[in-house]
Amino acid sequence: MLVLFRIDDRLIHGQVILGWGSVLKPDRVVVADDEIAASEWERDLYAAAAPPEMKVSILSLTEAAAQLKGGIFKKEKLILLVKRPGSVLALMDLGFPVNEVNVGGLHYREGREKVIESVYLDADERAVMRELAKRGVALDGRALPGSPAVKLNSRVV
């Protein structure tokens, strides 16, 4: 059962593990990212960031969509993490249904503009977010579960 689908350019880190993990108590974190899935040392690095009692799967977008749709994790509580908005769209295009996404950490870099605290988007990312909103995905902007939820759908148009 998916308990959180989050866009966060840092993926597995304190906010996810301590903040969201302590509230949602997931059995597994799934990172869906083609580049990280292709790199053994990055897979090991991210897997080591989770506590030993929390399972970690690092999969390509295609593998993640297939395994999530196939019900492989259906008996577990999952946090699904992606680095960028385009990954959400890619998973949807691969047939994985998405109703809501937590946009928790897209940090400042050159060319990005602030949408809310801890969410900065460039023009391409904003276009992807608009497409997600158009497809009916609720975009929930907040860093931690106790933070006020900000609906980003109207802010990305």
Q: How many CB atoms lie within 10 A of CB 31?
A: 23
Which residues is 113 bridged to in the sheet? 121
Domains of the chain, each with CATH number or no CATH: 2-147 (3.40.35.10)
Give the residue from 2, 72, 128 showing the smallest Cα distance to 152. Answer: 128
The one catalytic residue in 10, 13, 77, 112 is: 13
- 8-state DSSP, 95: T
Average pLDDT of the residues in 113-128: 94
Q: 154 pLDDT exceeds 70?
A: yes
pLDDT of residue 120: 95
Q: Is 107 a residue of the active site?
A: no
Average pLDDT of the residues in 120-141: 96
pLDDT of residue 67: 97
String of DSSP letters for 42-83: HHHHHHHTS-TTSEEEEE-HHHHHHHHHTTTTTTS-EEEEES
75-113 pLDDT tens trace:
999 999 999 999 999 999 999 999 999 999 999 999 999
15-72 pLDDT tens trace:
999 999 999 999 999 999 999 999 999 999 999 999 999 999 999 999 999 999 999 9
For residues 31 and 56, the answer to whether their CB atoms sit within 8 Å is: yes
pLDDT of residue 157: 65
Dihedral pair phi/psi, residue 3, rounded to 5° = -100, -20
pLDDT of residue 156: 78
Whole-prediction pTM = 0.96
**d(C-alpha 153, C-alpha 85), whole Å:** 13
Q: How many CB atoms lie within 10 A of CB 86?
A: 18
